[in-house]
Chain A
Amino acid sequence: MTRSRFVQPLLFYVFASILAVFALIPFFWMVSTSLKSKGALISIPIEWIPEKISFEGYSKIFTVFPFAKAIFNSLFISVASTGIVLVSALMAAYVFAKIEFKGREAVFALFLATMMVPGQVTMIPVFLVLKEFQLLNSFTGLLLPSVFNPFAIFMLRQFIKTIHNDFLDAAFIDGASQPNIFLRIIVPLSMPIIATLGIVTFMGAWNDYFWPLIVLSDRELMTLPLALSSLNGQYGSEYNTLMAGSLISMLPIIVLYMFAQGFFKAGLQMGGIK
């Protein structure tokens, strides 16, 4: 017994610290690199801590690229797409959870079945359709597909199903209309899941690369991941600039995480889908 009292915490701290170092070294290297001058990048032996602090990378990223615009674009796109996903999915989820009609389960099954098909199959036709309507290289084109999110519908439906029917029946007898019930009862009672889903959707949109890469080509419209990948193409060896940009791009999500850890955990655990 005395053995395990010492050995177990020791083992815990040893292994946990090994994993923690593995998780942190890349961030340490990113921060350190972002504070180096271009010349210090190729010093041998490598400088773990910059000998001379330089903000060259930070100033360069805002001069060679409309990076402030990219921050704004990311913010706008993430907020807007989260809003669209939540509104559209909440409305559908309410019907699938609480309003019975013939064929409802079949329609719902169709919604879910589309999740089996990987995005790579549909992206080419969606691209072609957007092109036909001249919506390529526009925020509208980027945002429109958010209107259909079967995963969000499924999660919201599961939650709304657990809301007691007595609430709804009482409101119905009092003469409340369906939109009223939806706005006054369903939405407020679903707030925990809305927050959780909202945060996960926001993070997904903030970090998304594939879809913006296909839709956007104008530098002025690029989101942060796209801006970084475009800078990687042009300034692929100027790591102080690239690391400065990477650091800036991840700060908002990390701050959000600090404030809403529980929602992140719940959100990622519930779906297991990134």
Chain B
Amino acid sequence: MLTHRNRRKWLTIILFLLPSSIGLLVFSVIPIFYSLVISFTDWNGLNPWNLAAGTPDFLGFGNFKEILAGEEFWRVLKNTMYYIVLYIPLILVASVLAAVLLNNTYKAIGLYRVVFFIPVLTSWVAAALIWKWLLSDDYGPINAILGFVGIDGPAWLQDRTWAMPGIVFASIWKDMGFFALIMLGGLQGINPTYYEAANIDGANFWSRFTRITLPLLSPMLFFVLVICIINSFQLFPQVMIMTQDAGPYGSTQVMVERIYKYAFKYYKMGYASSFSWILFVIIFAFTIVQMKLQRKWVHYDS
């Protein structure tokens, strides 16, 4: 027996959860299963389903096998790894450095905070356009500066070796302030008595940094590392804007760019869906491995 009050309570629950629950179903749960179904087919997203006539054709794991057996997937993965190997160390060093600098009380701090943060506010499209122009072979300031110190700069985005590093620089510029902000939160959470004790013991800056700051910042470093790796696998606007056809010889082709092209340029919805599931599995696997590895290096202050 529902009391009057109980009925009103349930009415509230249903009413209040309705918009997001419909959204959950229509834009998340159903699409996840739908995507899985499509990934086993050769559907182009256009022809109406007619299973008797073989539209679409069910291929089982056909798409997955084709992707993993093809040369393209491994090239794309290699490109992503090239990005990760350059990006991760640079972003960690840059953002920790920026955070350590911002964790001071000098007068100009407020100004530096704003300056470091402005790139975070810009859209990736605008940032990528700026960097495409900065990295211009003949007319860009980066090669002009390099030329000034006697280095003949590469053609960057037109060069199969240098296109990805060019994208990495743009990403460092764009992301530094954001991760510095996250790290700053970590630094401000460190108990100052550790530093006071170290000062009494006469520890210098470097040993304070490596013995206190880094270990106590490690949970934050771990968090940033996980996010950075997930973001690296989802690299997209940089590649689309800076290297319009994904670089010379496909040197900046990455997974999301491939998925986008297969789905919305070539209308191979089945193939693209399989690709997206492979991406999901890779991201998931990397995250799990990092969770396991964190026990070896992440230090939680209790």
Contacts and interface: CB of A to CB of B under 8 A. Distances in A.
B241 A232 contact: yes
B265 to A, nearest CB: 11
Interface stretch (B58-66, B98-106, B190-198): B98-106
Interface stretch (A39-47, A57-65, A161-169, A187-195): A39-47
A124 B119 contact: no
A122 B125 contact: no
A122 to B, nearest CB: 4
Interface in A123-181: 123-129, 131, 144-145, 147-150, 153, 177-179
A43 B140 CA distance: 10
Contact of A268 (B115, B178, B240, B276): B178
Given A19-B97, A122-B35, A126-B27, A94 B16 contact: yes
B19 to A, nearest CB: 4
Contact of B236 (A16, A210, A264, A268): A210
Contacts of A129: 26, 30-31, 34
Nearest to B26: A129
Contact of A91 (B19, B112, B119, B133): B19
A95 B10 CA distance: 10
A88 B27 CA distance: 14
A72 B168 CA distance: 32
Interface in B82-132: 94, 97-98, 101, 104, 106, 108, 112, 114-127, 129-132
Contacts of B35: 121-122, 124-125
A45 B144 contact: yes
Main secondary structure of the interface of B (DSSP, over half): helix
Contacts of A233: 244
B209 interface: no
Interface in A206-250: 206-210, 213-214, 224-226, 228-229, 232-233, 236, 239, 242-243, 245-246, 249-250
A268 B181 contact: yes
A205 B228 CA distance: 21
Interface string B42-83: 000100000000000000000000000000000000000000
Interface stretch (B210-218, B278-286, B289-297): B278-286
The 5 closest A-B pairs by CB, nearest first: A148-B23, A207-B123, A125-B31, A246-B126, A147-B23
